Amino acid sequence: MDDVDAAVVVHRSPHPLDCEERALVLTALGIPNERAFDGEQHVLRVPPSHLPEAIEQLAQYGREAEAARTAARSAIAPPPDLPHAWAGALAYGLVLYFTSVALARGFGPLDAFTRGELSGEGVQSGQWFRAITALTLHRDVEHLAGNLLFGSWIGYLAGARLGPGIAWLATLLAAAAANLFDAAVGPADYRSVGASTAVFAALGLLSAFGWRERHEMGRRGFARWSPLIAGLVLLGWTGSEGEHTDRVAHGLGFLLGLALGVGLALPRIRSRLRALPQWPAASAALSLLAFAWWRALSV
């Protein structure tokens, strides 16, 4: 290109490919140009006589590139929410409510609460069912109300993305595994009850599933990582406060939910799950709960 010293910079970028792409555009249109490095950034320059035309063509190129990116993002939209997520949240609430009412009114053995609570000694002696039954027990109304409200909300969101049956079955399995591990490695006098471990398992499930979906959609930066960040913030904010808070079980439930969420969000698995009916998974979750309580009351 002639008049190198008089050439005018029309684009600069820390990335050489940005200048290379625009140089190809100008070259294809017959506009003289050169690429260089000014010591800090890569630059694209043109002679002053071609400046107005170069600016106009580069501006048009920028608009077309942005339109193409927008169209690509729209083409990879997230799948619609699955129906009946409210049914899973309602079933969760009814299980917690009626379990509390039944125990308060004396249905079953007088020591039903003790038989169902998570106990280090019990689990270490083979009473695995306590890891499940303890999820339905609460020490007071405040404890129950908190888990009902927060759990219904998180469970509804998870059910909308994975389907209510699959979401709640995965949540139950992750929470039970967290409780089982916590009691198995803890002291013999360890005691714990509450659905909060299941709530944080559902939160981990939802966070990981959302993150994987955004990854598949090509989102970057905060847009991709925001589900995980939000999940961790909620875990830290609500999962570590309170006198009787079991931080280990909450954290482990969240991590196991994350692991299940990543697996269930893999494209092949996700597409197959969306095609499956939800009632078998929902029935399995309720049957597992019922069987665990049957074992607890039979001891």
What is the rounded CA–CA span in Å between residue 70 and residue 62? 12
Instruction: Assess whether pLDDT exceeds 90 at residue 270.
Output: no
Q: pLDDT tens for residues 157-177?
A: 999 999 999 999 999 999 999
Cα angle 292, 189, 236 (rounded to 5 degrees) comes to 80
Q: Which domains does the chain have, with CATH numbers?
A: 8-75 (3.30.70.1530), 85-298 (1.20.1540.10)
Q: Quick one: pLDDT at residue 67?
A: 81
Gyration radius of the chain's alpha carbons: 28
| pLDDT tens sequence across 100-113 | 999 989 888 889 99
Q: Quick check: 216 pLDDT over 80?
A: no
Residue 116 has pLDDT above 90, yes or no: yes
Task: Answer yes or no: pTM beyond 0.85.
Answer: no
Most confident of 33-47, 100-114, 284-298: 284-298
Nearest to 170 by CA among 39, 81, 281: 281
Query: What is the mean pLDDT of the segment spanning 274-287?
Result: 94
Could you tell me what percent of the chain has a pLDDT over 90? Answer: 71
Counting residues of the chain whose pLDDT is more than 70, the rounded percentage is 93
Query: Which of these ranges, 34-48, 118-132, 169-183, 204-218, has the smallest mean pLDDT?
Result: 204-218
Instruction: Reply yes or no on whether the pLDDT at 4 is more than 60.
Output: no
Rounded to the nearest 5 percent, the helix, strand and coil shares of the chain are 70, 5, 25
- Sorted by sequence, the CB contacts under 8 Å of residue 176 that are 6+ apart come out as 131, 132, 135
pLDDT band at 73 (very low <50, low <70, confident <90, very high): low
Lowest mean pLDDT segment, chosen from 54-58, 73-77, 208-212:
73-77
- In contact, 188 and 124? CB cutoff 8 Å: yes
pLDDT higher than threshold 80 for residue 242: no
β-pairing, 118-119 vs 191-192, is antiparallel
pLDDT of 3: 54
How much is the average pLDDT of 272-284? 91
